[in-house]
Structure 1
Amino acid sequence: MNASTDIVTDDITPLSAVPTTDTAAVPPSDARSHFAWIDIRGTAGDVRAALVQAAIHHRIDGIVSDDADILSDLPPTVRRVLAVGALSVDPDVAARVDIVLADHTGDDVSPIVDAGPAAEAGVHVAVSDADTLRHACETVRRAPWTLLTFTDPTKIPLEIVIAAAENSGGATVTVVNDIEDAGIVKLVLEHGSDGLLLAPRNADDVATLADVIRPGADHIELGELTVTKVEHIGMGERACIDTCSLLAKDEGCLIGSFSTGMFLSCSETHPLPYMPTRPFRWNAGAVHSYVLVPDNRTRYVSELQAGQPILAVRSTGEVREVRIGRVKIERRPLISVTATTSDGRVVNVIAQDDWHVRLLGPGGSVNNVTDLKPGDKLLGHAPPESRHVGLPITEFCDER
């Protein structure tokens, strides 16, 4: 039956009992951890010292150098990576480092450096054509560590190497040109390269690189909200948020009139009698509403724009970052839903006054806003802080 042309009356009543385990069409969240190395070859004096200290302070995983003396002075919290030109190295030198990294040369398929008993073996492959791409794919299946340099800006060769490395047991480290490139490489084929290698210009680059590989908030505390009042309040502007991702049936965005309490809205992933589902959209709320975005910030829904990040939150509290494709603001009848948190705070959300707009409840239950009544339970997030320009702040703030 075509939902866009036929009225599916059987879908209307049981929506609150729709199971939330069917997420086959939705990509899993990125739970994979990444690490970063910095390359200090070609640096000296105060610059090198500043980079090393920044790497230690920001818990960068490894430092690459061609000087074993420099590496041997590093603390054990940093992986010492010695770059060499040959496929064998003096055992006494190898004993002072953690990884011996040799360049791939010649036509042999994936030669592995002889690092001796004390260090692990690594191979650096520069991918510039089909032959070197083949060498890279062979290397990642055999070497404990593979450093990859790609001469062309396309990420297709990296995708191929990552696919070849699947379940190999080794780690891939990709040379990145700058911080922006690092953010892209991290996400190639969803989980990206295991590690990133950057030759930083200064200590600030090291700090920013650490932020790129640091996992974002992957869980948020949700609690029950008890509905106390539902009012039809007339016309106003509301926003739909279309994302660049497919959303799960129990996945929504956190939105509300007050910064100290937000409701978990529902994505348009459930059947509608007059139109197809739109599993990329939240019919979010009125234009004044706060919406939760990364870095524990809020924004007004009317300020959101295409390309910006927003947090997608599941009924379990699992969080991922998705990108906005567009925000559509239109004039519609509005409904006001007021509720209380478990500690007695009053919270509110204003949404489009229509049956197909839904809020999520405990267990991922789906609740049409026009069917809500006092006593109903919904899911939400009630942070203790107030907000100033979207940032949490501990100060007196009375929102009504």
Structure 2
Amino acid sequence: MKLSWIDIRSVGSAKAAVVEEAIHARVDGILTDDPADLAGLPPTVRKVLFPQGQTLPEDFGAADVVIVEAAKHGEPAELALRHPEVEFGRYVEIIDADTLEDACQSARTDRWSLLWFRDPTKIPLEIVIAAGAKAEGSLVTLAQDVEEAEIIFGVLELGSDGVLMAPAGVGDATALRRAAEAGVADVELVELEVTATAHVGMGDRACVDTATYFREDEGILVGSTSKGMILCVSETHPLPYMPTRPFRVNAGAIHSYTLGQNERTNYLSELKAGIKITAVDIHGRTRLVTVGRVKIESRPLISIDAVGPGGRTANLILQDDWHVRVLGPGGKVLNSTELKPGDKVLGYLPVEDRHVGYPINEFCLEK
């Protein structure tokens, strides 16, 4: 989970409403330059004091973290020795090579680093993230808006540990919190036993091309129902008649579900460039990947039925061709047309019903 901090120094008359929303949205931190703003905040939020351009107050009030400008306030490590009741961090404005090195040093040594990159390029942030990758401190990077926050969270795959953003109004704190948790939870895969296969004639199937290379033990979950999916492997494994395309999953018939983001399912038919879907490996570990293109073409189809623990079932309709494959236990690659009753595949059997793709506690029969 990434950290979401909001800066309330410039929100003006909307301060009370923004703070109330931030607490309700469970943002991780509220930053201000006035210790009085921190009084009365609940323990669920980190209270951050940043007296930028001011002298360091004698009383930090309820602050948990104090961010300082080292040239004006002193070194964070030295301040921490004098004030063990709070944590200290360093503010660095990155404008050139020297200040970039200051940020890298802070990332390596300070408990907290609050970073503002004046230029829009994210290359300096990549360098700082790499410099502090093995350190225990946390990087919090200033963002102008939620869109930039989403980019910062993903820079160099690791991303900044957190983002500080000044809300333009009510609603921004909630949006920032959502961006911070935009990753997807891992899933619990189970072994499913194939019970039947059938050639079902012509239909439209979707190849999902992503802007990411898949690993050999990774693919996407696809199923005819939202409560039964099978792990379809990407085209990372060699084929005799065509080159590998490790960004592609020959995923299934267009009616099928796959996992998207925010716990939502998507039909393969509604995927398009820019949409996020969930990549899953054989251990159930997940990551979001971006769709670059979806190819829908008419092809012969094969239906695969499988059963899991407790008799729960899954169905997958794929292109009827042996080079279209799914994953089995241990990452075994299985040609779809060679599957037979008794074979084992990896699948996912969520318990929630769905309404417009979102999990919901209601009765829904899919068959």
For normalisation by structure 2, the TM-score amounts to 0.89
Higher RCO (CA 8 Å, separation ≥ 6 residues): 1
**Counterpart in the other structure of 1:388:** 355
Deviation at 1:182, TM superposition (A): 0.7
**Counterpart in the other structure of 1:207:** 174
Deviation at 1:381, TM superposition (A): 1.8
**Counterpart in the other structure of 1:376:** 343
Structure ID, larger Rg: 1
Query: Deviation per CA, 1:292-342, whole angstroms, max 9, x where unpaired?
Result: 212222222121111111111122222211111211122222212122333
**Counterpart in the other structure of 1:103:** 69
**Counterpart in the other structure of 1:39:** 7
2 CA distance for matches of 1:391 and 1:72?
Answer: 38
- Kindly tell me the number of residue pairs found equivalent between the two proteins: 364
Does 185-194 or 166-175 show the bigger shift? Answer: 166-175
2 CA distance for matches of 1:275 and 1:41?
Answer: 58
Does 95-104 or 358-367 show the bigger shift? Answer: 95-104
Determine what percentage of the aligned residue pairs are the same residue: 52
Does residue 114 in structure 1 map to residue 79 in structure 2? yes
**Counterpart in the other structure of 2:192:** 225
Does residue 248 in structure 1 map to residue 215 in structure 2? yes
2 CA distance for matches of 1:312 and 1:231?
Answer: 27
Unmatched 5+ stretches in structure 1? 1-32
Unmatched 5+ stretches in structure 2? none
**Counterpart in the other structure of 1:164:** 131
**Counterpart in the other structure of 1:174:** 141
Q: Is the 8 A contact 2:5 2:162 kept in 1?
A: yes
2 CA distance for matches of 1:338 and 1:170?
Answer: 49
1 CA distance for matches of 2:63 and 2:213?
Answer: 45
For normalisation by structure 1, the TM-score amounts to 0.83
Query: Deviation per CA, 1:337-372, whole angstroms, max 9, x where unpaired?
Result: 122333334432111111111122223222111111
Deviation at 1:129, TM superposition (A): 2.5
Q: Give the match's secondary structure for 1:374.
A: coil
**Counterpart in the other structure of 1:302:** 269
1 CA distance for matches of 2:297 and 2:92?
Answer: 53
- Which of residues 201, 204, 214 is equivalent to 1:237? 204
Q: Give the match's secondary structure for 1:53.
A: helix
Q: Give the direction of change, closer, same or farther, for the CA distance of 1:129–1:265 in structure 2 (3 Å limit).
A: same
- Which of residues 111, 116, 135 is equivalent to 1:149? 116
Equivalent residues in 2 for 1:131-146 (5 A)? Answer: 131-146=98-113
1 CA distance for matches of 2:313 and 2:12?
Answer: 59
Does 386-395 or 285-294 show the bigger shift? Answer: 386-395
Equivalent residues in 2 for 1:17-96 (5 A)? Answer: 33-44=1-12, 47-85=14-52, 89-90=56-57, 92-94=58-60, 96=62
Query: Deviation per CA, 1:66-95, whole angstroms, max 9, x where unpaired?
Result: 1122224333333222222469734x4136
Q: Give the match's secondary structure for 2:311.
A: coil
2 CA distance for matches of 1:382 and 1:278?
Answer: 28
- Which of residues 241, 245, 259 is equivalent to 1:292? 259
Q: Give the match's secondary structure for 1:253.
A: strand
2 CA distance for matches of 1:345 and 1:122?
Answer: 52
Q: Give the match's secondary structure for 2:103.
A: helix
Output the aligned Cα RMSD.
2.6
1 CA distance for matches of 2:111 and 2:314?
Answer: 53
Query: Deviation per CA, 1:244-300, whole angstroms, max 9, x where unpaired?
Result: 222122212111222332111112222222233222211111122222212222222
Does residue 130 in structure 1 map to residue 133 in structure 2? no
